[in-house]
Amino acid sequence: NAGVTQTPKFQVLKTGQSMTLQCAQDMNHEYMSWYRQDPGMGLRLIHYSVGAGITDQGEVPNGYNVSRSTTEDFPLRLLSAAPSQTSVYFCASSYSEGYQETQYFGPGTRLLVL
Amino acid sequence: QKEVEQDPGPLSVPEGAIVSLNCTYSNSAFQYFMWYRQYSRKGPELLMYTYSSGNKEDGRFTAQVDKSSKYISLFIRDSQPSDSATYLCAMLVLTPGEGAQKLVFGQGTRLTINP
């Protein structure tokens, strides 16, 4: 199993550009989530999904969109990038929402917005 | 006040030392307590989780929870240079009335084990 995979590993954007961060898992997990990690802030939840076709907002959803058309994939879209979105983004998955204590994380995408 | 507080360090100790990493929390509704290890430029990796007060051991690692004091610790015995990483505590709470779970992370402590 590859686990949770993320692409790209690193991206540079200009203010106002849009892009999609890809996340995929091959563990047949129902629950998937996106976090951003900033210095001194820990990990903060952006959006999450409890299954295909179901998504909801987390703690810091503004400026981001998600969709979940399949169990495997959970892309994160930046609509109009801003310097405040410079961060490291992690995708994670667990068997279900009720099993977040055993959540698996991807390797991360480093995003720099100029 | 943050729900979960963790000393960001950095913490530097010699090889073989016992390391103590700590987090405090304010929400008494937290149910599960996790420790993640994160190597530089990698994703967090789950080390241990527990849901009850007391100690849980896994090799050189011991997780300790004191719910009465709202305090959790991770002890690393016989520390190795390969233990050098950032350690994140995390806590899980069932959101009242919503049936949803909320996972809250500490800021992370950067640990260096010197050979």
User: What is the rounded distance in angstroms from the CA atom of residue B66 to the CA atom of residue B77?
Assistant: 20
How close, in Å, is residue B110 to chain A by CA atoms?
A: 11
Q: How far lies A75's CA from each of A43, A59, A103, B26, B45, in Å?
A: 18, 18, 18, 33, 21
For position A41, what pLDDT does the model report? 81
Give residue-wise pLDDT tens across range B13-65.
999 999 999 999 998 888 889 999 999 999 999 999 988 889 999 999 999 99
User: What is the rounded distance in angstroms from the CA atom of residue A94 to the CA atom of residue A25?
Assistant: 10
The residue ranges of chain A whose pLDDT is under 50 are none
How close, in Å, is residue B79 to chain A by CA atoms?
A: 24
Q: Which residue has the tokens 């987090």?
A: B23
The number of C-beta contacts closer than 8 angstroms across A and B is: 48
User: What is the rounded distance in angstroms from the CA atom of residue B64 to the CA atom of residue B54?
Assistant: 6
Residue in chain B lying closest to A47 (CA): B102
Helix (H, G, I), strand (E, B) or coil at B82: helix
